Amino acid sequence: MNVLIVHAHPEPQSFCTAMVHRMQSRFEAQGHTVTVSDLYAKQFNPVASATDFAERSNPDYLVYALEQRHAQKTNTLPADIAAELELLKQCDLLVLNFPMFEMSPMKNAVANTEACLANIERHNEITNAFITVMADQALERAAAIDAAAAKAPRSSERRAGLMPSLEMSSTRSLDKKDSGAGCS
């Protein structure tokens, strides 16, 4: 199997470089062909720009992907890019080896996550305060209903004639309707 290890680290004595040497020796010990492309040693320019194209299909507006296709078709890719593409075409396994300095992408992700969690926490505080107010209002209403119910006569008192029953008053209103008043 043809293994391509693309290595990008500025320090030749770094841990990442030691990993490359270890991978290379392990793959070769297993009978694989290994090519290491050390981008820093080659001084490979990683910045994509219009200068990557000697002949452009559209000189007025750069669409990098379209210019890459045009350069590939017309065989006008810069030598360093063409060499790396050739290595990619020949490999069966690609290993990308590069550092994450101070875990900078992770550091940003952690900072964004912390900010998001702070917003969620603030939202939860506001929600909890709202729920507390609603619960207090509900308890006040329940207490008012309980107080009104305590003052209201019980059904046994109504039966004893201490208070006219609701059924009687509704019957009286039905009697008025039956008398034809207001009906056509």
Please indicate, yes or no, if residue 180 is contained in any of the structural domains: no
pLDDT of 184: 43
pLDDT digits (tens, 9 = 90+) for 42-71: 999 888 889 888 889 999 999 988 998 899
pLDDT digits (tens, 9 = 90+) for 125-175: 666 666 666 667 777 777 787 787 777 766 555 555 555 555 444 444 444
One domain for residues 42 and 62 = yes
Please indicate, yes or no, if residue 42 is contained in any of the structural domains: yes
Distance, CA of 173 to CA of 179 (rounded, Å): 10
One domain for residues 71 and 121 = no
* This prediction's pTM: 0.54
**Total number of domains constituting the chain:** 2
Residues 6+ apart with CB under 8 A from 98: 7, 8, 9, 16
pLDDT of 170: 46
One domain for residues 6 and 93 = yes
User: For 130-169, b where at least 16 C-beta lie within 10 A, e where not — what string?
Assistant: eeeeeeeeeeeeeeeeeeeeeeeeeeeebeeeeeeeeeee
